[in-house]
């Protein structure tokens, strides 16, 4: 392998001649062989760094033109654009399990931009990773900024659209089956009737509430730490850099990013991330409930409830021919479990801010972005491959409804709670219909029973 010699404050180190990164990235790559190739820094973080480096260069050019020349600024912008587009993804090999401030990933971005920017300008030493690309910045304010940018984009551009599309499908099902009366169930036992449309409305309202909560979390994510530099004081950043940089990031992303009003808080607290992930967890919990309801209602096809028919996407067994399983429901429940686990990790990480910095940033970023990405993709798949093709089995719903002993509730106003309970118990013990049991006990005449007993009107 051809190598070149790179230098940093610790001395010289060999780097593959094919790579754009420099000495600090190479040291991290060698010193943290943990989850290599699997648990690398999320691509969303790298792209967010590209956005903030581009914004910082423009603001530095406006505020410090004697240092950030037009030539340097243009080179940084060109290289940052390649990072944002994903063209340089192979140049970011560092794992999540590195320094807790994410310093090495910040330097990885700085080194790649410096080298690539110099190549594009055809001036190899035009940019210095620290002096130019990292001008007016610190890892301590750039990583929290990249985290907030990536988190806000993931929630608003991926997770919310997926949830809202599923809500649209549920709204269609709700209308389609507004008149499909079925047995309700509480405690996994038969209960009084409900329409399938009403049941679906509960699912829909849950997801709508989750979306409200996700949107309520966005303002906290839109606050950026950039400009606080090392400890929140803004040392080595020109006056007004924080406000201008946030405004530029807002312009680049089309999102209402603003500078955090208190940088000491922004560098050490992850409360905005915790709050936002709590909303993600709430959505995951409701998706778990929805998926479980669907697979129970679709259980069978002959020996279960059988009230729903779900799409047959693939064979369900390697030994039982013709078996079809609720696989889309199962992927949703597994993703929900992962999100709940991630929430615990994020909560613990957020509690570990010591003095002026939280040093659990990479693991927080990894878990948050995994949750948002997985849940968005899970919901989209569930919508397309399950809920959009879900159909109610009206005949089975009607059959189960009329076999339910809890329809006896309709008789309580006529014969009282105690007598109605006797009717239900007799019907169950002797395998009778509610009508036959009620008549046998002499509580109502046939005409009186028929006048009182209308399951379809109990919804």
Give me 260's structure tokens: 């955090």
Three-state DSSP state, 243: helix
Parallel, antiparallel or unpaired: strands 258-259 and 223-224: parallel
Q: How far apart are CA 47 and CA 252, in angstroms?
A: 12
Q: Which residues are catalytic, by number?
A: 187, 317
Q: How far apart are CA 99 and CA 214, in angstroms?
A: 30
Looking from the CA of 181 toward its CB, the CA atoms found within 13 Å total 15
User: Of 385, 445, 446, 442, whose CA–CA distance to 419 is shortest?
Assistant: 442
Q: How far apart are CA 21 and CA 90, in angstroms?
A: 10
Asked if residue 260 lies in contact with residue 59, where contact means CB atoms within 8 angstroms, the answer is no
Looking from the CA of 189 toward its CB, the CA atoms found within 13 Å total 4
Q: How far apart are CA 222 and CA 362, in angstroms?
A: 19
Scanning the structure block, which residue is given the tokens 């919804």? 459
Q: How far apart are CA 131 and CA 51, in angstroms?
A: 18
Asked if residue 80 lies in contact with residue 50, where contact means CB atoms within 8 angstroms, the answer is yes
Query: Hey, CA dihedral for 211, 213, 217, 218, is it positive or negative?
Result: positive
Q: How far apart are CA 388 and CA 267, in angstroms?
A: 44
For the beta carbon of residue 261, count every other beta carbon within 10 angstroms.
9
Three-state DSSP state, 344: helix
Asked if residue 432 lies in contact with residue 418, where contact means CB atoms within 8 angstroms, the answer is no
User: H/E element holding 361?
Assistant: helix 361-385
Give me 8's structure tokens: 């940093």
């Amino acid at each position: 392998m051809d190598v070149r010699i790179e230098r940093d404050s610790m001395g010289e180190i060999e780097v593959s001649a094919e790579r754009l990164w420099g000495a600090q990235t190479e040291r991290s790559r060698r010193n943290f062989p943990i989850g290599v190739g699997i648990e690398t820094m999320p691509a969303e973080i790298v792209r967010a760094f590209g956005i903030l480096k581009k914004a910082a260069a423009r603001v530095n050019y406006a505020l410090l033109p004697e240092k950030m020349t037009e030539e340097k600024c243009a080179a940084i912008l060109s290289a940052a654009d390649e990072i944002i587009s994903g063209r340089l993804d192979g140049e970011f090999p560092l794992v999540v399990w590195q320094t807790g401030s994410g310093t090495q990933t910040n330097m990885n971005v700085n080194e790649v931009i410096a080298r690539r920017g110099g190549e594009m300008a055809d001036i190899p030493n035009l940019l210095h990773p620290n002096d130019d690309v990292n001008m007016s910045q610190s890892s301590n304010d750039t990583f929290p900024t990249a985290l907030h940018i990536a988190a806000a984009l993931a929630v608003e551009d991926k997770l919310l659209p997926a949830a809202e599309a599923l809500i649209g499908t549920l709204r269609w099902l709700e209308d389609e089956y507004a008149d499909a009366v079925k047995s309700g169930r509480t405690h996994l036992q038969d209960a009084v009737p409900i329409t399938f449309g009403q049941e679906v409305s509960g699912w829909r309202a849950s997801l709508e509430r989750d979306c409200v909560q996700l949107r309520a979390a966005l303002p906290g994510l839109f606050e950026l730490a950039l400009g606080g530099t090392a400890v929140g004081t803004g040392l080595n950043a020109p006056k007004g850099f924080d406000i201008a940089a946030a405004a530029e990031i807002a312009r680049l992303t089309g999102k209402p990013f603003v500078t955090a009003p208190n940088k000491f808080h922004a560098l050490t607290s992850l409360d905005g991330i915790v709050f936002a992930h709590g909303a993600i967890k709430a959505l995951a919990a409701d998706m778990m409930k929805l998926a479980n309801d669907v697979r129970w209602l679709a259980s069978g096809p002959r020996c279960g409830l059988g009230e729903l028919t779900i799409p047959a996407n693939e064979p369900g067994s390697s030994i039982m021919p013709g078996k079809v399983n609720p696989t889309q429901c199962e992927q949703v429940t597994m993703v929900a479990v992962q999100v709940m686990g991630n929430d615990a990790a994020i909560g613990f990480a957020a509690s570990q801010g010591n003095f002026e910095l939280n040093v659990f940033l990479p693991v927080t970023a990894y878990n948050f972005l995994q949750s948002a990405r997985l849940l968005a993709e899970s919901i989209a798949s569930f919508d397309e491959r399950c809920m959009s093709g879900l159909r109610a089995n009206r005949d089975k719903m009607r059959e189960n409804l009329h076999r339910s002993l809890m329809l006896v509730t309709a008789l309580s106003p006529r014969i009282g709670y105690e007598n109605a309970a006797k009717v239900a118990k007799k019907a169950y013990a002797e395998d009778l219909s509610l009508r036959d049991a009620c008549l046998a006990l002499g509580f109502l005449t046939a005409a009186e029973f028929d006048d009182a007993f209308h399951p379809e009107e109990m919804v």
